[in-house]
Amino acid sequence: MLTMEPMAKVRVVCGKPATERVISALYEFGSVQITKSSVFDAGKPLDSFSPISNKLIALRSSEKMLGLKGGEAQARESLPSLRDALSEADGIDTPELEGIESELAEVRTKRAALRESAKALAPFKAVRMPCSAFTRNPRLRFTYFSLKGDFHALRKELDACHAEALRVADGKDVYVLVAAHEETAAKAQDICAKYAAAFYGIPVTGNAKTFPECVERTERDEKTVAAKEAALLKKKQAFAGKNAAAIVRSRKELEEHARLSSLPVMFGGTQNLVAIEGWLPAKNMPELERTIDKATAGKAAIEQLHVKESPPAVLKNPKLFKPFEFLVEFFSLPSPHEFDPTFFISLSFPLFFGMILGDIGYGIAALLLSLIMMAKIKKGFFRNVAGMMMLSAISTIIFGWIYGEFFGFGNIFGYQLHPMIPRAESEGLSFLMAFCIFIGLMHLALGFFIGLITALHEKQWKHAIAKASWLAVEFGLFCFLALSMESTLFEAIKTVAVLLPADAWGILTIGGIVGLAITEGVPALVELPGLVSNLFSYLRIMALGVSAVILALIIDKIPLNPNIVDPMSAISFFLFAAMFTLCHIGAFALGVFESSVQSLRLHYVEFFSKFYHGGGTPFVPLRRK
């Protein structure tokens, strides 16, 4: 529980012909993390890797063409053989899809060109003169633009350079076509610029006789191409409906086979032998030996290696505490010489959560929510969240009973609650403040103590003395606070303190400071005020809890006085009841969020900094993803 799963490093040596069988056996075994072999020359992928890669390229291309997201296929319970996986992949007519996609690309390019042509022709659809007129006289220059000024004034100016202007009306839009001799074309262009909103180049019309005819032909061609595109899309959709699931499933299965086929690059090998190395839980060693013997008919050698390298980290905790492993993994896995802090978090996280939220009603709501999540979700992140919430909800109910709160009320359907710590009153606040400081002192002391045990276990005597010195300083601070604070919580400490010499706790504190100066030097002395800061961080438990109960009390002020005789009173009741419910849902969500975040902060920042560094590597066994 406090230590991690013991790991063993093994080496399997077998004949090259048995490589595929051994890989399959290790894959089915599912508990060995393959590592780079330290003996022989580096191996090469299996011969099957090349055809698998080629097929994967085609399948991934098909997935991209169809816009598949990967969730269209139900995974099979066991990985099919490579022959079966390739056979299924060969049954998918990917060339057909490639042909459809190629035609679609061609059609879309043609349609885009027609749209551009239609856009260029749009301003000319009201021009009735023959298209041949624009090319009949090579010495004429034509200008076409949308008019923004007075046409008669334009025409008068153009007469000076012997240019002709034709007004073209297309609904509300007015265009002008100007023809000028090449010698005066530049001057005519300057005049047109004063009256033009936008210029348009004369489009090429092919063999069309007029612009309206050209526009009509372009629109007709665009509709024909659009119909062809729709038919191809329908064909593509039919292909997807028939093959989407098979494409995704085949791609996933062949990716697994590709992973297995590429594994030999991590093996060591000679012309006839293959050496495979990896980590596994030590308890699984006998089962691995039986598995390899069965796969190779006893023609393989298995040995346990004794190495100095750090094994991957595998957390080992009771089922009840398993969900809290996620919090450790999220921060960082333990290094081999560290204790697994999951057990401590499993106790203190629900404690802090319950102290902050502390309401029977909210606790019951959190418990029901966690049970629903556990019933619906069997694994993954939210399953862990549900497990953590269940224990935290029980803690919330217990502290809700201690605080005497049920959705902020002091009674449960008429039954009067008798709070042991009324945190909405000054007397309760004083006790709760002392209790939070006491909890903080114990939590920090636990962190220093774990650090001390770790240092002793690793025979790091200097670090051990430093942790012991921190403990001495903290207990000196603890006794100082106990003697200073007027709280029944510290009465027992006061009694013991009075029996000891007056300077005992001061000597303990000074001795700790001297020990820190010797072992850790000036940086440790600079960090001494940080210990007080860490301790006062635990007052957040009280502050957030009080803010939560004040919020609940404000919500409870919403008037709920039903009067079914008066229609307006009845409507008001239902409106206020809805507001009351929504406000409590919001307060519950906010309370759960704040309780979780602050509990995590107290662990990651205050608690872990006293003993935990992490840096462990995750265990990634060869198994189906």
> Which tens digit of pLDDT belongs to each residue from 366-385?
999 999 999 999 888 899 99
In sequence order, which residues have a C-beta less than 8 Å from that of residue 66 and are 6 or more positions away? Answer: 97, 236, 239, 240, 244, 247
- On whether residue 86 sits in a domain, the answer given is no
Please report which confidence band the pLDDT of residue 211 belongs to, taking 50, 70 and 90 as the band edges: confident
Q: What is the pLDDT of residue 555?
A: 67
- Rounded Cα gap, residues 196 and 62, in angstroms: 51
Q: What is the pLDDT of residue 23?
A: 93
Q: What is the pLDDT of residue 502?
A: 53
Residue of higher predicted confidence among 563 and 287:
287
- Rounded Cα gap, residues 123 and 174, in angstroms: 9
Residue 492 φ/ψ, nearest 5 degrees: -65, -40
- On whether residue 303 sits in a domain, the answer given is no
> E strands along 264-359, which residues?
268-269, 273-281, 300-305
With residue 519 as reference, give the H or E element that holds it.
Answer: helix 504-519
* Mean pLDDT of the region 471-486: 73
Q: Quick check: 84 and 256 in contact, CB under 8 A?
A: no
For the cut 90, the answer to whether the pLDDT of residue 215 exceeds it is no
Q: What is the pLDDT of residue 264?
A: 92
pLDDT tens readout for residues 114-147: 998 888 888 888 888 887 777 778 888 889 999 8
Q: How many CB atoms lie within 10 A of CB 23?
A: 22
Q: Quick check: 180 and 133 in contact, CB under 8 A?
A: no
CB-based burial label for 414 (10 Å; 0-12, 13-18, 19+): exposed
Q: Please count the structural domains in the chain.
A: 2
Q: 474 and 340 in one domain?
A: yes
Per DSSP, helices labelled H in 459-520 are 461-484, 491-499, 504-519
* Mean pLDDT of the region 395-424: 82
- On whether residue 268 sits in a domain, the answer given is no
Q: Work out the mean pLDDT of the chain and round it to a whole number.
A: 85
Q: What is the pLDDT of residue 368?
A: 95
- Rounded Cα gap, residues 461 and 225, in angstroms: 83
- Rounded Cα gap, residues 56 and 601, in angstroms: 45
- Rounded Cα gap, residues 57 and 98, in angstroms: 13
Which of 176, 204, 232 corresponds to the end of one domain? Answer: 204
Which of 174, 204, 234 corresponds to the end of one domain? Answer: 204
SS3 content of the chain, % helix, strand, coil (to 5): 65, 10, 25
- On whether residue 466 sits in a domain, the answer given is yes
* Mean pLDDT of the region 468-496: 68
Q: What is the pLDDT of residue 559?
A: 58
Q: What is the pLDDT of residue 222?
A: 92
Return the amino acid letter for 97: L
pLDDT tens readout for residues 224-262: 999 999 999 999 999 988 988 889 889 998 989 999 999
Going by the DSSP 8-state scheme, the letter that residue 9 receives in this structure is E
- Rounded Cα gap, residues 97 and 240, in angstroms: 9
Treating both helix axes as pointing N-terminal to C-terminal, what angle do 211-262 and 19-29 enclose, rounded to 10 degrees?
A: 100
- On whether residue 274 sits in a domain, the answer given is no
Lowest mean pLDDT among 60-69, 502-511, 524-533: 502-511
- On whether residue 83 sits in a domain, the answer given is no
Residue of higher predicted confidence among 577 and 61:
61
SS3 state at 33: strand
With residue 142 as reference, give the H or E element that holds it.
Answer: strand 140-147
Q: Considering the entire predicted model, what is its pTM? A: 0.74
Going by the DSSP 8-state scheme, the letter that residue 490 receives in this structure is G
* Mean pLDDT of the region 277-285: 95
Q: Nearest 10 degrees: CA dihedral of 455, 460, 465, 470?
A: -40
- Rounded Cα gap, residues 569 and 559, in angstroms: 11
- Rounded Cα gap, residues 435 and 428, in angstroms: 10
Q: What is the pLDDT of residue 587?
A: 83
Q: Which domain holds residue 361?
A: 319-418+426-610
* Mean pLDDT of the region 511-534: 79
Q: What is the pLDDT of residue 407?
A: 82
The radius of gyration of the chain's CA atoms, rounded to the nearest angstrom, is 40
* Mean pLDDT of the region 553-576: 61
Please report which confidence band the pLDDT of residue 567 belongs to, taking 50, 70 and 90 as the band edges: low
- Rounded Cα gap, residues 617 and 600, in angstroms: 22
With residue 543 as reference, give the H or E element that holds it.
Answer: helix 539-555
87-91, 457-461, 602-606: which is most confident: 602-606
Please report which confidence band the pLDDT of residue 412 belongs to, taking 50, 70 and 90 as the band edges: confident
Which of 204, 238, 258 corresponds to the end of one domain? Answer: 204
Q: Quick check: 300 and 14 in contact, CB under 8 A?
A: yes
Q: What letters, b where the CB count within 10 A reaches 16 and e where it falls short, cover 374-400?
A: beeeeeeeebbbbbbbbbbbbbbbbbb
Q: What is the pLDDT of residue 88?
A: 87
* Mean pLDDT of the region 102-107: 93
Please report which confidence band the pLDDT of residue 593 belongs to, taking 50, 70 and 90 as the band edges: very high
Partner residues linked to 42 by β-bridges:
268
Return the amino acid letter for 127: V
Q: What is the pLDDT of residue 482?
A: 66
For the cut 80, the answer to whether the pLDDT of residue 580 exceeds it is no
- On whether residue 184 sits in a domain, the answer given is yes
pLDDT tens readout for residues 5-27: 999 999 999 999 999 999 999 99
- On whether residue 152 sits in a domain, the answer given is yes
Q: What is the pLDDT of residue 269?
A: 85
Partner residues linked to 409 by β-bridges:
406
- Rounded Cα gap, residues 354 and 363, in angstroms: 8
Q: Quick check: 267 and 23 in contact, CB under 8 A?
A: no
- Rounded Cα gap, residues 50 and 64, in angstroms: 21
Q: 381 and 528 in one domain?
A: yes
Q: 324 and 198 in one domain?
A: no
Q: 461 and 325 in one domain?
A: yes
- Rounded Cα gap, residues 617 and 383, in angstroms: 23
Please report which confidence band the pLDDT of residue 289 belongs to, taking 50, 70 and 90 as the band edges: very high
Q: 327 and 195 in one domain?
A: no
Q: Quick check: 27 and 309 in contact, CB under 8 A?
A: no
Return the amino acid letter for 459: K
175-179, 388-392, 437-441, 538-542: which is most confident: 388-392
For position 145, which CATH number holds? 3.30.70.2750
52-56, 426-430, 558-562, 579-583: which is most confident: 52-56
* Mean pLDDT of the region 570-577: 65
Treating both helix axes as pointing N-terminal to C-terminal, what angle do 461-484 and 491-499 enclose, rounded to 10 degrees?
A: 110
